Amino acid sequence: MRITGPAAKPAAEALFTGRLEHRRVSYGRICDADGSTVDTCCAAYFRAPSSYTGEDMVEISFHGSPAVAAKLSGLIANTGLAVPAEPGEFTKRAYLNGKMDLARAEAVMDLIASSAERQRRAAARQLEGRLSGEIASLYERTKLALARLANAMDDDTGEVELDEAALISEIAPIKSEIHALAEGGMRSRILREGARVAIIGSPNAGKSSLLNALLLKERAIVTEIPGTTRDTLEESAAIDGLPVVFVDTAGIRSTFDSVELMGIERSRRAAEDADLILWLVDGSRPFSSEDEAIRAFINVERAVAVITKSDLENVIFPNENGEFYGLEAVRISAVSGDGLDALKKLVSERLLPCEGSEAEGLVTNVRHIGALEDALAALEAAENRLGDSDTDAAFYELNAAMEHLAAILGRENPAEELVDSIFAHFCMGK
């Protein structure tokens, strides 16, 4: 497996435990998101320009099973620092950077020709049937919305009104369908790789106790002194048959203690990375300014409120709708075990909300999920720009969304198709 480009080193460092030094091969482990070892391997780092491509490059040699290869490329893509390469991309870069020697040329050309064909066949297989149909439909509709916008912008007769609101309502369903597809992709990832659930809350809100109760073992140190858990702890458990990685974070607390500050920073990051956040609030004590500070950075769409210590006399309760600060809430006691089953049920429901969803598992290719997410982000930006009547920028974003979808479908010339679409749907010109 090879990574090239300025982010090659940070991307590799995100998963490889060994030290990367220029022109040195080092031994280490490739770690999964939960810290478990995927494979032991060797990695070599080459600093630009002394590499095959002429860019920073990392080559990882592992125990070549296709499953490990797939896992590894998924992990690399998940760092957000790298994307899967196009066929022949390395050679292209090597050429563009002026690195390619004659001896290797013939062999490399053979390799490219055969591997491109393999990739083409694989992509075609993946895109057979429903997924292809759904993405093609999304692509066509995005293209039509863009054609409508382009027609209004290119019109110089004053005949075509630009109706931003209509366009926004045209984009909205496209967005939610892409969201469902990408989400379905996430769902299949969760089934395959497990979900990340972050446990956060004020010091001594009962985070470690809850983790222990869920795991039925004493891993985290539980004390009466706030701020005991300094490192994040990661533990795997099956919740309703679903593989879940629980991340116990340090108590988030205003403090000048530098070790603890590092812990807090980790907590924030764990909360950002998590598929679901369990926000713990001590039910036996009044809501504190620390609780408020934590609430402020929680992504409400991905969080559940857990009111702890129901075995003690409580001063904090969910409202009559079972909510706390707008979040679904559950009361538990890690000591008595009350509410733990309800919490587990809630966790599994929230992680896989739509049992047997239409979109489930349709999108499994890492590159496709990435392209869908990019298309979604571009559509959101297009909506915002349209809302601001920023037409030029809206066109740019909508066009980007169309190109991301075209890339999944392998459409070569979306720009030309757009022009065709404008002429097919709109009466243009003098």
For residues 6 and 15, give the distance between their C-alpha atoms in angstroms, rounded to a whole number: 17
Amino acid identity of residue 336, one-letter, is: S
Identify the residue whose tokens are 């590159």.
367
Q: Is 393 in the site for another protein (CB under 8 A)?
A: yes
Residue from 403, 376, 382 nearest 394 by CA: 382
Q: Is 153 in the site for another protein (CB under 8 A)?
A: yes
For residues 269 and 325, give the distance between their C-alpha atoms in angstroms, rounded to a whole number: 22
Of 33, 38, 112, 340, the residue at the interface with another protein (CB under 8 A) is 112
Identify the residue whose tokens are 């600093």.
47
CB of 392 to another protein, least distance (A): 3
Burial of 217 (0-12, 13-18, 19+ CB in 10 A): exposed
Q: Which is nearer to another protein, 229 or 399 (CB)?
A: 399
Binding marks (x or -) toward another protein, 173..212, rule CB under 8 A?
----------------------------------------
Q: Which is nearer to another protein, 287 or 426 (CB)?
A: 426
Of 27, 64, 116, 315, the residue at the interface with another protein (CB under 8 A) is 116
The answer to whether 356 touches 350, Cβ cutoff 8 Å, is no
Q: Is 27 in the site for another protein (CB under 8 A)?
A: no
Q: Which is nearer to another protein, 144 or 152 (CB)?
A: 152
Site residues (CB under 8 A) for another protein, limited to 90-109 = 91-92, 95-96, 100-102, 105-106, 108-109
Paired tokens of 141 = 């509709």
Site residues (CB under 8 A) for another protein, limited to 405-424 = 412-413, 415-416, 418-419, 422-423
For residues 4 and 188, give the distance between their C-alpha atoms in angstroms, rounded to a whole number: 28
- Residues that contact another protein, how many (by CB under 8 A): 50
Residue from 406, 358, 354 nearest 378 by CA: 406
The answer to whether 193 touches 180, Cβ cutoff 8 Å, is no
The binding site for another protein (CB under 8 A) comprises 86-89, 91-92, 95-96, 100-102, 105-106, 108-110, 112-113, 116, 150, 152-159, 162, 388-393, 395-396, 399, 412-413, 415-416, 418-419, 422-423, 427-430
